[in-house]
A = this chain, B = another copy of it.
């Protein structure tokens, strides 16, 4: 474990040594040791040191070497802009030209329009053109994720010539482990893995050994769908085409890992009612700013609950005991609603719930709500009877629990499906929101019932 740590991360010692070489301007020693590191470790070092040290790094490293560091950076809006501004514009444009186009797009997306245009002008023309096209795709689509550095060959070439193409393109292509086969109009017709190529006869024709049942995506497909395909088929890379099946780019598995992580985090933070869960390093003010919108919104929803309860003040005045069970009822309804919500939101996100299974899902949740409601209701009748020796109160609280769980479970499944139907991300019907809504309905059910039965209590 300890050895692994040492090998993986840069030790303090190594870090100190690198810093020393930088401040003493010992370019050869720095380059020899720094360039032996994995790009991820280089990136961590780069982010850790201050702007002055970074400026020395720009002098010691070529734009091509810096490009590798930038590809490994976990980019955060404000930081990228800062880093780019530290560099000489020509150096920065040069660096961008050396990066894979999908990463260039990520960087440029963080800059304001004027800076973006300036860099596009400074970059070499071909790359600038490709990047401009990629910048045009909407966020979270296949088009915005793909890179244009792939290897393609013609159907009628031989294995030998394909291997030569591969050797030539290897230094620049983002992956050489899949070769995409196209016809004379650059339309995708097949795919081949490097593994197939290596074991094939050198004189065989690509057309004869390629796989022509290619799985591909359209440039406009949503990233969540792409992620699902990667999960199902275990691909390492995946072609993206336009409406005429013309090959436009590829998506590689490393970008998909980020997507899977991001989508899961996103659903999770919405369930908890926070805007950005990944920001562990934020100070208390930033953290509070991220959480307050939700809290305050829910506070006002809670006020609504209070207003509605105010209508029952006279009932509560007559039987104060009633108030004692309010947290129990609203809590239980909130819990069952969140359970249903979480299942449905994840099901929609992963594509397991589609048009056809929607109705089935709602019926399933109705059944589940009936069963859990009945079970919890009966337990409550029994416990309250044993505790308060009042069958009336027991039945009242039990019935309220039963109704609340049923309604909450149904709402927890129905509302996200409805929101999804309206074209909105169903995760916004997040945990705290649906909990507060269920609070209101459950209390209305409970106090409404109580008011009806007031004579009996």
- Interface pair B342/A272, CB less than 8 Å apart: yes
CA distance A361 to B170 in the complex (A): 45
Q: Assess whether A339 is in contact with B271, with CB atoms less than 8 Å apart.
A: no
- Max chain B C-beta neighbours (<10 A), residue from A331, A364, A375: A331
6 closest Cβ contacts across the A-B interface?
A: A284-B367, A272-B342, A264-B264, A323-B323, A302-B328, A234-B254
Is A339 in contact with B291, judged by CB distance below 8 angstroms? yes
**B316 and A320 form a contact (CB under 8 A):** yes
B268 close to A332 (CB less than 8 A): no
CB pair B309 A313 closer than 8 Å: no
Is there a chain B Cβ closer than 8 Å to A436's Cβ? yes
| B320–A313 touching, CB < 8 Å | yes
The reply to whether A296 and B376 contact each other, CB–CB distance below 8 Å, is yes
Contact B328 A303 (CB under 8 A): yes
Q: Is the CB of B321 within 8 A of A320?
A: no
Taking a contact as CB atoms under 8 Å apart, the answer to whether B213 and A291 are in contact is: no
Interface centre among A309, A341, A342, A379 (most CB of B within 10 A): A342
Closest Cβ–Cβ distance, residue A268 to chain B (whole Å): 5
Q: Are B4 and A216 in contact (CB under 8 A)?
A: yes
Give the shortest distance, in Å, between A378 (CB) and chain B (any CB). 11
CA distance A450 to B177 in the complex (A): 70
Interface membership of A370, Cβ < 8 A: yes
CB pair A342 B268 closer than 8 Å: yes
Nearest CB of chain B from residue A305's CB, rounded to whole Å:
5
**Segment from A52-60, A108-116, A118-126, A273-281 that makes contact with B:** A273-281
CB pairs A–B below 8 angstroms (16 shown): A4-B217, A4-B221, A38-B213, A163-B198, A167-B198, A231-B257, A234-B257, A269-B346, A274-B342, A280-B352, A283-B367, A284-B365, A299-B380, A306-B325, A309-B324, A313-B320
What is the size, in residues, of chain A's interface with B at 8 Å between Cβ atoms?
Answer: 128
Instruction: Tell me whether B342 and A287 are in contact (CB under 8 A).
Output: no
Report chain B residues within 8 Å CB of A375. 288, 292, 295-296
Could you tell me if B215 and A38 are in contact, using CB atoms closer than 8 angstroms? yes
* Binary flags per residue of A370-393, CB closer than 8 Å to B gives 1, else 0: 111001100110010001000000
Known contacts A233-B40, A435-B334; is-contact A310 B327 (Cβ 8 Å)? no
CB neighbours (8 Å) of A405 from chain B are 295
From B274, B353, B365, give the contact of A343 (CB < 8 A): B274
Q: A451: CB under 8 A from chain B?
A: no
Q: Shortest Cβ distance from A251 into chain B, in angstroms?
A: 13
Q: A residues near B, CB below 8 A? A: 1, 3-4, 7-8, 36-38, 40, 72, 163, 166-167, 170-171, 176-177, 194-195, 198-199, 213-218, 220-221, 229-234, 236, 245, 253-254, 256-258, 260-261, 264-265, 267-269, 271-274, 277-278, 280, 282-285, 287-288, 291-292, 294-296, 298-299, 302-303, 305-307, 309-310, 313-314, 316-317, 320-328, 330-332, 334-336, 338-339, 341-343, 346-347, 352-353, 357, 361, 364-368, 370-372, 375-376, 379-380, 383, 387, 401, 405, 431-432, 435-436, 439, 443
Query: What chain B residues lie within 8 Å of A171 (beta carbons)?
Result: 199
- Whether B213 pairs with A36 at a CB distance below 8 angstroms is yes
Query: Given the complex, which residues of B lie within 8 Å of A194, measured CB to CB?
Result: 176-177, 194
A284 with B370: CB separation less than 8 A: yes
| Contact A195/B176 with A295-B376, A302-B328 known, Cβ cut-off 8 Å | yes
A395 to chain B: closest CB distance in Å?
16
Name the distance in Å between A166's Cβ and chain B's nearest Cβ.
7
Q: Tell me the bound Cα distance from A176 to B324 in angstroms.
A: 66
What residue of chain B has the Cβ atom nearest to residue A257's Cβ?
B231
